[in-house]
Amino acid sequence: MSPPEPLSTDLSLRAWTGALQALLGADRIVVFVTDPGLQTATSVCAAPELGATTTELDAGFRAALASSKLVSPETLAAPAAWTADLEASPSAMLLRAQARKDGSQVGLAVLWAAAGAGALDRAMRQHLERSLDGLATAAAVAVKAAAERRREQELQGQFIEVFQSIATGVIIFRGRDEPALVNVTAGRLLGAPSGRVDAGLIEAGLKRLCESAVDAAAACKALAEITNDTMRNASFVIERGEQHISIDVQPMRGESGRGRIWLLRDVTQSRRREAELANLAASDPLTGLANRRGFMAEARAAAQACRAAAQPLTLLMIDLDHFKLVNDTYGHPTGDQVLRVAADRCRAALREDDLLGRLGGEEFAVLLPHTDHVEGSAIAERLRQAISATPVAVDKLALTMRVSVGGATRADGDVQLDALLAQADVALYMAKRSGRDRVVFAGGAASGG
């Protein structure tokens, strides 16, 4: 049989056992628990104190426990481990046990040495025997309570261990007049200690954290709103340079509306990954330019700004002439190199605020904010010449590039971007129909080679 689960005593069980020993004038009282098979008994608490021992039970002792009858001291000897340190061998013992659900038993043994046993007259002994049921019940309750307290302490210890080790900062406020419970991560973010900390100190740390934000006014306003409204869930993100800290707050329903849990997380890495994924989704991997999605998003923002300021806006569509022939003749790797060179030459010919993107295949687009028809035409011609001025060197090849450009302008910017894009696309089609290698603006004449 395996030994029973070890049980730890606490002060209340120890005090109860000691008081009972003094009351009965006993030389020793042992509270014990057996294994389910009644083969061994482990002392849980004893008075005077006895080292935690597990002892084999003989047949007589097992029979007494199994029958749950009162035991005469003349017919049953106590285990030697319970009596070895006593000054005299016990000459009297009362024993009582109660069964538990798992088949084990919780028992109480009262032992007297010769002098003490002699003082027990018949009436006293009968009274004690009648009280043993109650004493055994009290012992069982005390042992169970001690075990439950031990389990509760273990759970509390496990909670504290997890609470202090998790990567998310956790602050538990149970009320302004009570200390806050703060884990290590939260303390590190706030520059405060962990454990049970004065609530005012943590509130001051949260205020310092918000004051260090790039937008300190907005962060402090959000903090004030959350602090004043204790009944709602709330969250916001503090940006401190490259660092981003997420703050989530929720009320503790079981604290009469006073308690709240604050969660602080450093989300810098996740924000960085989000930005990288967004950049990948909006970028053309071949040329490094914005792809159609990225270009349209940036272009719409720029077009809206021009429309709000009543400024002109020009859009150019650029298409590499006979590019399919390059791919078919020299292969796609050569075609890819031609596209990269075209993108680089466009970048070099444009201004800092101009937007350049690859819409797909050999087609590029350029948005020229605050640019009228005259200036837009000049930039378009500059792009055409910059791309075609020098052959593209690929291995031993020198490939001449030619491009067709279509453009459209809105004098006051008051036009939808999609409509402007459609006008520039029609102008590009006209440039190709009229011989390629030229610039054509919507409603205007062609220019070029």
Phi first, then psi, for residue 192 (nearest 5°) are -130, 165
pLDDT band at 6 (very low <50, low <70, confident <90, very high): very low
CA atoms lying within 13 Å on the CB side of residue 419: 8
Q: Which of 35-49, 120-134, 341-355, 422-436 has the lowest mean pLDDT?
A: 120-134
Task: Report pLDDT for 2.
Answer: 38
Q: How far apart are CA 204 and CA 188, in angstroms?
A: 14
**Residue 1 clears pLDDT 60, i.e. is over it:** no
Dihedral angle of Cα 143, 144, 145, 151, to the nearest 10 degrees = 110
127-179 pLDDT, tens per residue? 666 666 677 777 777 777 767 777 777 777 777 787 888 888 998 888 767 88
Q: What is the mean pLDDT of residues 43-67?
A: 83
279-307 pLDDT, tens per residue? 778 889 999 999 999 999 999 999 999 88
Q: Which of 62-71, 107-116, 394-403, 425-434 has the lowest mean pLDDT?
A: 62-71
Buried b (16+ CB within 10 A) or exposed e, 390-410: eebebeeeebebbbbbbbbbb
Place of tokens 């970028």: 283
Task: Report pLDDT for 5.
Answer: 39
Residues 6+ positions from 273 with CB-CB distance below 8 Å: none
CB 10, CB 150: distance < 8 Å: yes
Intra-chain end-to-end CA distance of the chain, in Å? 101
From the list 269, 275, 218, 211, the residue with the least C-alpha distance to 243 is 269
Task: Report pLDDT for 431.
Answer: 94
Task: Report pLDDT for 7.
Answer: 39
CB 321, CB 342: distance < 8 Å: no
Task: Report pLDDT for 8.
Answer: 43
Determine which helix (DSSP H) or strand (DSSP E) holds 159, and give its type and residue range. Answer: helix 122-165
